Structure 1
């Protein structure tokens, strides 16, 4: 198993990612767009999710495919980012056809970044605009760190960020995209080593390796008074999955979140994973192949979480340091 050529979710052919940011508000949105509709699924394990169109993604529901996924800051306000994406896709003639109408299917999820130091005194909800801008920006290459939905993200002790990673195995490609805004930490104790270090490929987030030791009985270090959080993610594959198989892949990917964030899936996090399956590669084995794809998704998500925090950048008005500012000279 090795990373794809970009080490991004867009190593899955037919997928593009775009970002939009607002530096004054300290927020943004990220869009994952398919060249054509993809099989879509979701699984939620956090206790405080904010979502749009997720009920539609259950395996027993009529619509099996989506046109795009949206990850956004802004808490409940940020759900409007998907409206901007849906309007733009409708103008392009994309969506689920019902009679003479076309309805784009655009599920979304949000994180809480309303008290991160930005100016939130807007006269009009900005997220519809940010969603449309992110869609227009979609391409195969995209930035990591303090961009898109990760622009204003925070974790327990550091700035969060937007991360991505990919892996290839047996002719299949899997990728992950994540906005990290967790209640917990992604590093061990007071040091720079990432919880995800055992799964690192190359030196994609510093190459520091695992921490020498940690106290498994220590109380989890949290954000303190700021208990509004969420890590929202997308995993993707070029495999031809049913919606039920894609749902199992999302469930498996949550293992990667738990390996990279301590603690994760708390009552105050809205931890969620979407799956996008483009269907380009037939399943070689209906049992073993989905198992491996879920394993790959978990590994990619762990790495993407660390990469997002590792890549975060310092900007004026930050209320927490970046990993680079706090640990970069030690690495």
Structure 2
């Protein structure tokens, strides 16, 4: 186990970004089409092809999922992924036509100090292509890809990932781009909200504080409306219907609630995708799915904390510090 979403067999992840721009894209590529769904909780989401993932809609499968910076400009990134997949003959076939199905979501990083004065067209389509081309089972965390420009209210955000197995041997993995209006830590201290779910010191092993002060529980918010959003995906090797996959995304959202304070606010656009490769049967369609969702939520919380723990500060005046800058 790599403690990455790619512990779910059949997934690869790629990043592409521009450090001067301070933004980028991350692609989760499936070796074959998978059952996919989505759950949207934030008040200001930016998405592409999410309506298609509703259980009531016809298509069951997706070829890739794209998470991107760039706000609405980043919705170009799935076009780059589509271009790569079409070159490989991947996609939904209608007669002689091939249409890769690539849903995506974006987060806001346009005011992080990077140079956003691109030419006529933003670079996200090329990011999507390059991230797909270079996708691998091993990938970096922190300030890379879609997480390069991510921040929280008091520490740098980034890409995080984690994985786990259910007692029945089903694998689940999460990937998160944490760019929250709130904070992943208690107050300004070293303790992560997700600490009760941490495994093997994966984000510092600091545990929870012995007590909470009123200031720890007060709202702390970054920026203004639409300047935030945490976007994520949960994946499993279980065999799920589209409706079950949707329920998995719903339950995985609880992991963000365990890791970010506050979350799902009108100032965020939080989105969680889900994907099921179908390699293993659930022992029970109800209890088994409940257990899978529980493990998924815990993995999601851990992934969000790792996104902050692994991040590095942007090299711009006034940039938000990294957690490691203060706590090592």
TM-score category, normalised to shorter length = over 0.9
CA distance in 2, matches of 1:31, 1:119: 23
Q: How does 1:264-279 map to 2 (within 5 A)?
A: 264-279=263-278
Q: Do structure 1's residue 323 and structure 2's residue 323 form an aligned pair?
A: yes
2:230 match: 231
Q: 1:99 to 1:216 in 2, by over 3 A?
A: farther
| Residues paired across the two proteins, number | 324
**Which TM-score applies when normalising by structure 1?**
0.96
The equivalent residue for 1:110 is 106
Select between 149-158 and 213-222 the one with higher mean Cα deviation: 213-222
Residues 309 and 83 of structure 1, relative CA distance in 2, 3 Å threshold = same
Aligned residues: CA RMSD: 1.1
Within 1, Cα distance between the matches of 2:196 and 2:314?
30
Q: Is the 8 A contact 1:150 1:162 kept in 2?
A: yes
> Residue 49 of structure 2: which of 53, 57, 60 is its match?
53
Aligned partner (choices 175, 178, 181) of residue 179 of structure 2: 181
Residues 1:320 and 1:107: Cα distance change in structure 2 (over 3 Å): same
1:214 corresponds in structure 2 to 212
The answer on 1:13 being equivalent to 2:9 is yes
Shift of 1:105: 0.2
Q: What is the alpha-carbon distance in structure 1 between the residues aligned to residue 115 and residue 275 of structure 2? A: 34
Cα deviation per residue 1:143-196 (whole Å; 9 max; x = unaligned)? 000001100001101110000000012110000001000000000012110000
Displacement of 1:268 in angstroms is 1.1
1:260 aligns to what?
Answer: 259
Cα distance in 2, alignment partners of residues 285 and 216 from structure 1: 43
TM-aligned CA distance change 1:216 to 1:249, over 3 Å: farther
Instruction: Tell me by how many angstroms 1:315 deviates.
Output: 4.0
In structure 1, the residue matched to 2:115 is: 119
Is the CA contact 2:108–2:226 (under 8 Å) kept in the aligned structure 1?
Answer: no
Deviation at 1:216, TM superposition (A): 5.8
Question: 1:39 aligned to 2:35?
Answer: yes
Alpha-carbon distance in structure 1 between the residues aligned to 2:249 and 2:59: 18
Equivalent residue of 2:261, what SS?
coil
Normalised by the length of structure 2, the TM-score is 0.97
Report runs of 4+ in structure 1 exceeding 2 Å deviation. Answer: 215-219, 224-227
CA gap of 1:317–1:272, structure 2 versus 1, over 3 A, is same
Contact 1:161 1:181 (8 Å CA) reproduced: yes
Moved more, 236-245 or 306-315: 306-315
Displacement of 1:227: 5.6
User: Structure 2 stretches of 5 or more lacking a match?
Assistant: none
Where does residue 81 of structure 2 map in the other structure? 85
Partner Cα separation in structure 1 for residue 60 and residue 17 of structure 2: 30
Contact 1:32 1:68 in 2 (8 A): yes
1:310 aligns with 2:325: no
* Runs (5+) with no aligned partner, structure 1: none
SS at match of 1:230: coil
- For residues 80-159 of structure 1, the aligned pairs below 5 Å read 80-123=76-119, 124-159=121-156
Contact 1:183 1:227 in 2 (8 A): no
Structure 1 residues 38 and 251: CA distance shift in structure 2, 3 A: same
Contact 2:235 2:275 in 1 (8 A): yes
**Offset at 1:219?**
2.2
2:313, 2:320 within 8 Å by CA — same for their partners in 1? no
How far apart, in 2, do the equivalents of 1:138 and 1:92 lie? 14
